[in-house]
């Protein structure tokens, strides 16, 4: 598996899926946004930027420009990881506002607007009010990520933010399960490994 493989989306929140864009699914760490092209692929898989916008960015970007933005995205990711790790497992309160200033500075750069568009509904076209964004430069690709992080901070209960209990797993998720007993990033990955390890342990004991 490498960063051309599909990215992992198990966080149940885009803000955490962004943090999970670097992970160790098997044995070797993979960074899906280690360069500009990887960053564009991850944005497309996350559904954060229209495909035609990403194609236009590929055509217009100067040499090295997308790699530079990917570097900024990784810096944003590790800053937000430190914020989440220091506050997960307990309610987020307004005293976190000062620590979120770097995110607010990113959000201030947004050039969002709304547009009336035609939408298909039950085989008929109707008018809809759709949020849009001006993509003036490759750096504008950071804005939908900032929006996802902001929504995550303001809508999720940090008491339910957990780290996977899998050995060496770095993935984070929001536990939306009834009873809040989720332990693994996914049963297909760490959950099954834990079951197999427990089975081997029982065989040794017997």
Question: What CATH number is given to the structural domain containing 40?
Answer: 1.10.3300.10
Residue 116 domain flag: no
What is the pLDDT, as a whole number, of residue 166? 86
Measure the CA–CA gap between 84 and 152, rounded to whole angstroms: 11
Q: pTM for the full model? A: 0.87
Which among 109, 99, 153 has a CA at the least distance from the CA of 133? 109
Q: What is the pLDDT of residues 100-154, one digit of tens each?
A: 999 999 999 998 899 999 988 778 889 999 989 999 999 999 999 999 999 999 9
Residue 9 domain flag: no
Residue 132 domain flag: no
Q: Using 50, 70 and 90 to split pLDDT, how confident is the model at 1? A: low
Residue 80 domain flag: yes
160 neighbors 175 (Cβ within 8 angstroms)? yes
Residue 1 domain flag: no
Residue 122 domain flag: no
Q: What is the pLDDT of residues 53-92, one digit of tens each?
A: 999 999 999 999 999 999 999 999 999 999 999 999 999 9
Domain that holds residue 33: 14-107+140-205
Q: What is the pLDDT of residues 10-36, one digit of tens each?
A: 999 999 999 999 998 777 889 999 999
Residue 50 domain flag: yes
40 neighbors 58 (Cβ within 8 angstroms)? yes
Residue 5 domain flag: no
Q: Using 50, 70 and 90 to split pLDDT, how confident is the model at 188? A: confident
Q: Using 50, 70 and 90 to split pLDDT, how confident is the model at 186? A: confident
Split into its structural domains, the chain has a count of: 1
């Amino acid at each position: 598996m490498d960063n051309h493989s599909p990215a992992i989306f198990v966080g149940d929140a885009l803000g955490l899926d962004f943090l999970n864009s670097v992970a160790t699914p098997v044995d070797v760490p993979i960074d899906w946004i280690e360069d500009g092209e990887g960053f564009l692929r991850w944005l497309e898989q996350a559904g954060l930027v229209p495909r035609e916008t990403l194609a236009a960015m590929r055509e217009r970007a100067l040499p090295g420009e997308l790699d530079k933005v990917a570097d900024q995205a990784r810096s944003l990711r590790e800053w937000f990881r430190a914020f989440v790790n220091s506050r997960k497992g307990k309610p987020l309160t307004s005293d976190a506002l000062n620590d979120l200033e770097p995110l607010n500075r990113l959000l201030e750069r947004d050039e969002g607007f709304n547009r009336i568009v035609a939408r298909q509904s039950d085989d008929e076209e109707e008018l809809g009010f759709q949020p849009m964004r001006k993509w003036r430069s490759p750096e504008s690709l950071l804005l939908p990520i900032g929006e996802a992080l902001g929504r995550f901070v303001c809508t999720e209960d940090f008491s339910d933010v957990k780290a996977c209990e899998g050995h060496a797993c770095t993935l984070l998720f929001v536990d939306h399960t009834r009873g809040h007993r989720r332990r693994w990033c996914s049963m297909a990955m760490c959950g099954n490994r834990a079951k197999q390890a427990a089975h081997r342990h029982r065989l040794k004991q017997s």
